[in-house]
Amino acid sequence: MFRYKKDRKKGILLNLSLVSIICSLSCIFLISTLLQKLIVIPVNQLIGSLLLIALLLVQLAPRTTMRFVTLLVYFTVPIVITLLMTGDLPLAIIEIMRYISFFLFFCFIIRSDILKEMKEYVYRNQLFLKFILLLANAIILFCLFQSDCYSYQWGSEPYFTGYTAFYHTMASACCLLIAISMLYIQQKERVRIYRVAYILIPSIALFYTGARTFLFSLVILMIIFVKTNIKRSNYRKLTYLIAASIGTYIFFSSSMIEKFSFAANNKYVSSSMDSFTSGRNDLWEVAINSFIHDNMIFRFLGRGFTYSYSINEKATGHYLWSHSDIFNILVCGGLLGLGAYSYIVFKACRNLFIMGKQKYKYILFLLYVMLPAILNGFYEYQHYVISAMFLYVYLSIDFDKHLTVKDQV
């Protein structure tokens, strides 16, 4: 087990408690989402609001960095424009909260003092994390055998939603559960087979959601887990082979294969790109054309986060966002918003590289964020954003372990 020394510097108490609150609320958010349809009060909205407040306060206490203030200004511009130009205020508020929470979560993890407190949180709260893992896995396992936990949205096969609102929500929640499980297992002396069940159950569930983009995320998580826990190359290759065999079997036995088949044989698609993206490339084309034909001011500042819904409704007849962070922010936040978004993501990846000079860590983390960001969306799925936060902590702790071993040698 890897232990961290507690810092007793003056002024750390408020920061420490806020970090603990944010980490704990993030775990509770997973449970409330898995039970969303059974809870009559809007618990998720309440937890999300508390998280936003805590994330903002932790940046202001005990100190506020000039980098945070500068980024806050950059991220505030499209928010102000959204409020001034929107014709759909309820949707605007939802989009703003998702956008700003992504920004705050990444500002949260790129600060070295906060990252240290998060590592200490993981070490100190093993019982709480174990409770969350057991409860979340029990809920998913129960739901897998309930017919009312599936929905028919693509083709004839049912897709697993559990008690969440949508199958993409379930898929992102599974990624979050896997990330928390990895952190919990990481604190143990050895990887016991029975603990792998914490990862196996949400992995199987993800296949049954039919959310194709999150398959990339699952593969990345599995590569990281195997690479950081199995040191011998031959054993690692054997594990990859076994995992790939099991994954292939589940793939062809689950709803995921039906989703691929439906997308490939859909009579409304006109190209292989349409099939691969389920028509999202049409929305991307709308965004690009809108950006190209806009004036220079709105190219730079954007037109607000409900604008993509308006142009897509006009072009396709569907009131949808652009289903890609890159193209959505391009028209909604402009070059300023896209620049701020890119900076904070690459800053996190750069920090990982500086920690240990291990290329695979920052490359895999970058892929974990950017593949969904380009193909489907990243900041729109809050559970996935939180899973990236916990994955960042996991990779950082793994570097600390390697550093300790080297120092001992």
User: Rounded to whole angstroms, how far apart are CA atoms 360 and 226?
Assistant: 13
Average pLDDT, the chain: 85
pLDDT at 73 over 80: no
Check: CB of residue 181 under 8 Å from CB of residue 225. no
> What is the per-residue pLDDT for 21?
94
Distance in angstroms (rounded) separating the CA atoms of residues 125 and 123:
6
281 by Cβ neighbours in 10 Å (0-12 / 13-18 / 19+) ranks as middle
Beta strands in 97-215 (DSSP E): 150-151, 159-160
Distance between CA atoms of 174 and 179, rounded to whole angstroms? 9
**What pLDDT band is residue 269 in, cutting at 50, 70 and 90?**
low
pTM of the shown model: 0.89
**Cross-strand partners of 150:** 160
> Is residue 9 predicted with pLDDT exceeding 80?
no
Which of 85-94, 123-132, 144-153, 225-234 has the largest mean confidence?
A: 123-132
- For residue 139, what are its two tokens? 């809920």
Percent of the chain with pLDDT over 70: 85
Q: Mind giving me the DSSP string for 140-173? A: HHHHHT-GGGEE--STTS-EE-TTSSSHHHHHHH
pLDDT at 204 over 80: yes
Mean pLDDT of 225-238: 88
With cut-offs at 50, 70 and 90, classify the pLDDT of residue 205: very high
| Dist CA 356 CA 280 (whole Å) | 37
**Burial status of residue 209 (CB atoms within 10 A of its CB: 0-12, 13-18, 19 or more):** buried
Predicted confidence band of residue 408 (pLDDT cuts 50, 70, 90): very low
Residues 19-69: pLDDT tens digits?
A: 999 999 999 999 999 999 998 888 999 999 999 999 988 877 656 666 667
Contacts of 7 (CB under 8 A, 6+ apart): 116
Q: Contact at 8 Å (CB) between 127 and 187?
A: no
Rounded CA separation 129/114 (Å): 19
Helix (H), strand (E) at residue 48: helix 43-60
Cα Rg, the chain, nearest whole Å: 21
Contacts of 10 (CB under 8 A, 6+ apart): none
Can you give the length of the chain in residues? 409
pLDDT exceeds cutoff 70 at 272: no
Amino acid at 316: T
Mean pLDDT of 155-178: 90
Section 210-239 average pLDDT = 90
pLDDT tens-digit series, residues 80-123: 888 888 888 888 888 888 888 999 999 889 888 899 999 999 99
> Count of CB atoms within 10 A of residue 171's CB?
33
pLDDT the model gives residue 10: 39
SS3 56: helix
Q: What mean pLDDT comes out for the span 196-225? A: 92
pLDDT at residue 189 greater than cutoff 90? no
Contact (Cβ atoms closer than 8 angstroms) between residue 328 and residue 321: yes
- Asked if residue 7 has pLDDT above 60, the reply is no
Confidence of residue 163 (pLDDT cuts 50, 70, 90): very high
The residue ranking higher by pLDDT, 98 or 270, is: 98
What's the pLDDT at 63? 60
